[in-house]
Structure 1
Amino acid sequence: MDPEEVIARRVAREIRPGTLVNLGIGIPTLVSDHLDERLGVFFQAENGAVGMGHRPPEGMTDRHLTDAGGSFVSAVPGASIIDSAFSFGLIRGGHLDLTVLGGLQVDAKGHLANWMIPGRFVPGMGGAMDLVTGAKKVIVAMRHRAKGVSKVVQECDLPLTSQRRVDLIVTELAVMKPMDDGLHLLETGPGIGVDRVVAATDAALVITGRIPEMDLSGSI
């Protein structure tokens, strides 16, 4: 299975019916494809879309319906288009049940870094600072390594997005949860052993008992 599909499928299992969920740019946008639209989940994007559905088939796109990254989306019954100020009011007001964000680094304390240096041709802050601070739950969905380097580190050396600890980290190799006593390994990816996860991770992992594999069976 494609690594990004593994991540999106696993994150989809964390989403509960009837919730308001923000999907960040990149891998997070794939999550909605693995949820049944009848669950009543409303996906929100910073640009003002509330009620995004699955990605539309080729030839069925509407240039007025995009997510925050500019990718085409569909709309579910009851969807709304609001202005950016109203959208950030939802975020900053604590009305989001969950946000799913990509990351450049996450450290053993659960700190997220998903932006770099302004003025250079690298990722910018976007709305991530508001999302990490304002959402009730924060999940990071990212590849475990980039260019041979672990993105799960002992301490971030990139600028932090927020001082708040994220709730869950999902990669193609593992599901990890930052807690007071360290970064706990909860699950491994399909066909992935614990030793491989440890070898691919710069951060120290807390490993207790038998670690199960991710359950990726079907759409939710």
Structure 2
Amino acid sequence: MGMGVDIRNMLARRAAEEIQNGMVVNLGIGIPSLVPNHLNKNFRVMFHAENGITGMGPTPRKGEEDENLCNAGGFPVTLNPGGSYCDSATAFAMIRKGRVDITILGSLQVSEKGDLANWIVPGKRVPGMGGAMELAQKAKKVIVLMNHCDKNGMPKIVKKCTLPLTSSSCVDLIITELAVFRVIDKGLQLTELFSPYNLNEVIKKTECEFTISENIRKVSY
């Protein structure tokens, strides 16, 4: 079962809360691409794509797409005033130099240590790792937006990743349709619960153990 549109937007809206005015932000494909729709209207944020755009604007209206203007996932985008283009090598240099404040990615699995596995299911054809490896290592903050369980109902937050890693110990924040976890030195810390879910449901659907924040936030959108 995939996510409904409202849940996808709920996760994107929660992720948007992490973005501050003036940041450079890289968005993965899927749910992360919805984040700009939920940003504070007064904020000036530069959205960055590995294929060589800094300053992406909202998704173009149907019929107004520019065939030469797309994000790293190949989807049509627009450019905000003050945006710029560069070659892909320069876009990656920005990442490797640590100029990206936040990257918001999807994932297949995240471990209790913040290991990220988001690029391949063995035996399935994929285009490649893309920029995820660099982004996971070099962005100042790494946020994962994903379903709490996979389509077979298996937990995606695990003790140890069974899928090939993109990068180890890199994730800072995990946002699912059930809850929000911070990755701290001791492992995962549950900081928020989404209505109508309760703690028991989160424990049941999470493979690893986690600590619970003293003042847990209940979120209802």
Runs of 4+ aligned structure 1 residues displaced above 3 Å come to: 117-120
**Same amino acid, percent of matched pairs:** 50
Higher mean displacement: 152-161 or 33-42 = 33-42
Of the candidates 52, 72, 77, which is equivalent to residue 73 of structure 1? 77
Tell me how far 1:35 sits from its aligned partner: 1.1
Q: Which whole-Å CA distance do the structure 2 matches of 1:135 and 1:185 have between them? A: 23
Q: Is residue 115–residue 123 contact of structure 1 (8 Å, CA) maintained in 2?
A: no
Query: What pairs with 1:99-178 in structure 2 (closer than 5 Å)?
Result: 99-116=103-120, 120-122=124-126, 124-147=128-151, 148-178=153-183
Counterparts of 2:127 and 2:179, CA distance in 1: 24
AA in 2 matched with 1:155: K
Partner Cα separation in structure 1 for residue 74 and residue 103 of structure 2: 18
* C-alpha contact (below 8 Å) 1:10/1:215 kept by paired residues: no
Question: Which position in structure 1 is the counterpart of 2:8?
Answer: 4
Root mean square deviation, CA, Å: 1.8
Distance in 1 (alpha carbons) for counterparts of 2:102 and 2:220: 20
Aligned residue identity for 1:194: L
What whole-Å deviation, never above 9, does each CA across 1:23-71 have from its counterpart, x for those lacking one? 0111111111111454110000111111111112222211122111111
* Letter of the structure 1 residue corresponding to residue 90 of structure 2: F
Instruction: Give the 3 Å change call, closer, same or farther, for CA 195–96 of structure 1 in structure 2.
Output: same
Task: Say if 1:111 and 1:156, in contact at 8 Å, map to a contact too.
Answer: yes
Does residue 94 of the first structure (1) align with residue 98 of the second (2)?
yes
CA contact (8 A) 1:52 1:76 kept: yes
Whether the 8 Å contact between 2:141 and 2:172 is mirrored in structure 1 is: yes
Residue identity in the other structure for 2:113? K
How high is the TM-score relative to the length of structure 2? 0.91
CA contact (8 A) 2:47 2:55 kept: yes
CA distance in 1, matches of 2:136, 2:177: 22
Query: Which one-letter code corresponds to 2:19 in the other structure?
Result: I
Note the residue ranges of structure 1 that are not aligned, 5 or more in a row. Answer: none
Shift of 1:133: 0.9
Of 198, 205, 209, the match for 1:200: 205
Distance 2:128 2:63 in 1: 31
The higher-RCO structure (CA 8 Å, 6+ apart) is 1
Any unmatched runs of 5+ in structure 2?
none
Shift of 1:213: 1.7
2:48 counterpart of 1:44: yes
Distance in 2, matches of 1:92 and 1:167, equals 18
TM-score under structure 1 normalisation?
0.92
Q: Does 1:34 align with 2:38?
A: yes
Is structure 2 residue 58 aligned with structure 1 residue 54?
Answer: yes
Counterpart secondary structure, 2:203: helix
2:185 & 2:121 partners in 1: Cα distance?
Answer: 30
Residues 126-169 of structure 1: per-residue CA shift (max 9 Å, x gap): 11100011111111111111111111111111111112331111
